[in-house]
Amino acid sequence: MSRLATKLNVFVRLSDDERTCLDGLEAERIRIRRGGELVHEGQVGHKAYILQFGWACSFKLLPDGGRQIIRFPIGGDLMGLRGLLLRTSDHSFSALTDIVVSSVEATRLAGVFDQFPRLGAAILWAASREEAMVVEHLVSVGRRSAVERTAHFFLELSERLRLVGLGTQEQFKCPLNQYVLADALGLSAIHVNRVLRTLRERRFMTLRDRIVHIHDPDGMKMLAGYQEIEGRIFDTSGSKRIRAEAN
Amino acid sequence: MSRLATKLNVFVRLSDDERTCLDGLEAERIRIRRGGELVHEGQVGHKAYILQFGWACSFKLLPDGGRQIIRFPIGGDLMGLRGLLLRTSDHSFSALTDIVVSSVEATRLAGVFDQFPRLGAAILWAASREEAMVVEHLVSVGRRSAVERTAHFFLELSERLRLVGLGTQEQFKCPLNQYVLADALGLSAIHVNRVLRTLRERRFMTLRDRIVHIHDPDGMKMLAGYQEIEGRIFDTSGSKRIRAEAN
DNA sequence: CGGGAGCTTGATGGACCTCAATCCCTGTGG
DNA sequence: CCACAGGGATTGAGGTCCATCAAGCTCCCG
């Protein structure tokens, strides 16, 4: 089963037809070298991509040369769905390692929607999940301190990687350097360095030689106010109200 | 034609059947008082809402009592689509003014997807548009200074309101107080005050008595690095590369 | 051996936060 | 009519978090 099918299968049990349809989408494979760009802002390519192997990032550039990284797609993630629907991509994609992607053309995707409506819903679901992560990212950058934010980031990353079998909660490969992290976390690279140091000194986690070790997951979750992705998605245990003050 | 239909009609020319189907979705109307909550985080209601009149906000609360506002839905906007797909809502909705909403149940929406696949695509499109705004919001909070960020926020707001006929580029009603703005912009309310003062002193814009006057739209766009929504959505004029340095 | 990418540390300054106080306006109750 | 309270805006003083500048380090690779 293709990567995307595996992912969507969690949402709706796919029929054989639906599955082959998805497999067809991922047939063509392209290799891109580390540092290469798939899409850049403003490009009018009617294509989306499914990341098969490697790490990428999506980001926006600012007039002053600054950059904000939005997301780090990993295996099985969709890239550039929005660029497809909105005619013109509103952000760029770049390969952080050598990667393999399959490209999906707009027309074909539209065909899928017509033929298999349920796949449309499933893709919407996947997109929603990814939007939820962007929202969490926004919360981090807006309201968490640098240390909390960084801790939160690595916890989420660890869980995402674990879910696709690329690591455990305690340890995983992570090819992100401090400059890339800085652009993701809304910090300077220098401050990322200091933050990583305090996380190390406080025995929460270590990032060394492209490998993350999380020594104290529970402590870090406490520190970061982290809520599991699975909990965010499937929890039906009811509401734990905190307090909501409406102005 | 219903508000949602009007909105989606921009994306695909809707058939009469599709239109009546959408109108049906919006039949039931509920009034909610200023300060009321529609959904709160963790709630398991299988409902989404379409905002008909008034202002709302979606936000997430943090353990320390902080709050990050994600978005300010206005007339015609969908609210809580994600909560519907993901079983449990990952953020809260609250009414900033008295509002009128129509509620949409999960089952009915699923029915729409089956019956009118193209509507599924259209709703996906609308959701994408809104995600693009969240992304822009993330960029603001991560990489723009307080003044740029605030300017950007009001420019985007002005354009959104103009597109649904609730104001002009130069002037519009805006019931957001400085505390609410602070939680949206990731600043303290006090600093929002100072930022508004400098925007006033530099003759860019004024917020007084719930009314925003933008005195110098072009200057403000320059300041904020603002790119039009319509440009973000429909521009097919080609790419204006800036420069992309991949790490 | 030189160069480059990436990591590390120190010093300094600025952007923004926090605390505290004052003021204005509006609504409410006497 | 006034007194009062409460939401909101405004301003000042002081401190903190993080950015910026500058330098040196390690490692890898040519």
Tokens (6 digits) for A232 = 């965010």
Confidence of residue A230 (pLDDT cuts 50, 70, 90): low
B242, pLDDT greater than 60: no
Please indicate whether residue A27 or residue A238 has the higher confidence score (pLDDT). A27
B243, pLDDT greater than 60: no
Confidence of residue B241 (pLDDT cuts 50, 70, 90): very low
Chain D: nucleotides below 7 Å from protein CB are: 7-13, 17-22
Instruction: List pLDDT tens digits, range B156-170.
Output: 999 999 988 899 999
Most confident of A44-53, A78-87, A131-140, B108-117: A131-140
Look at A93-107, A129-143, B32-46, B58-72 and tell me which has the smallest mean pLDDT.
B32-46
Strand D proximal to A247 Cβ, under 7 A: yes
B239, pLDDT greater than 50: no
Q: Which residue is associated with the tokens 């695909």?
A: B12
Please indicate whether residue A246 or residue A35 has the higher confidence score (pLDDT). A35
B121, pLDDT greater than 80: no
Average pLDDT, chain A: 86
A178, pLDDT greater than 90: yes
Instruction: List pLDDT tens digits, range B33-45.
Output: 999 988 888 777 7
- What's the whole-number mean pLDDT along residues A38-48? 79
What Å value separates CA A37 and C1' C6? 22
The pLDDT assigned to B205 comes to 98
Which stretch of DSSP H or E encloses residue B123? helix B117-143
For residues A95 and A116, give the distance between their C-alpha atoms in angstroms, rounded to a whole number: 31
Q: φ and ψ at A162, to 5 degrees?
A: -60, -40
- What's the whole-number mean pLDDT along residues B133-157? 97
Indicate the pTM of the whole model: 0.91
Q: What percent of chain B has pLDDT over 90?
A: 55
Tokens (6 digits) for A238 = 């009811």
The pLDDT assigned to A120 comes to 78
Q: What percent of chain A has pLDDT over 90?
A: 56
B204, pLDDT greater than 80: yes
Chain C: nucleotides below 7 Å from protein CB are: 5-11, 15-20
The pLDDT assigned to A246 comes to 31
DSSP 8-state code for residue B60: E
B176, pLDDT greater than 60: yes
A204, pLDDT greater than 50: yes
**Within an 8 Å CB–CB cutoff, is residue B15 touching chain A?**
no
Contact state of A246 with B35 under an 8 Å Cβ cutoff: yes
DSSP 8-state code for residue A173: E
Confidence of residue B84 (pLDDT cuts 50, 70, 90): confident
For residues A138 and A143, give the distance between their C-alpha atoms in angstroms, rounded to a whole number: 8
Residue A175 to chain B, least CA–CA distance (Å): 11
- For A197, other C-beta atoms within 10 Å of its C-beta total 10
Residue A85 to chain B, least CA–CA distance (Å): 6
Number of residues that this document lists for chain B: 247
The pLDDT assigned to B152 comes to 98
Confidence of residue A215 (pLDDT cuts 50, 70, 90): very high
Shortest CB distance from B232 goes to which of A35, A81, A90? A90
Confidence of residue B237 (pLDDT cuts 50, 70, 90): very low
A87, pLDDT greater than 80: no
Strand D proximal to A178 Cβ, under 7 A: no
Q: Which residues contact B79 (CB under 8 A, 6 or more apart)?
A: B38, B39, B48, B49, B50, B51, B56, B58, B73, B93, B101
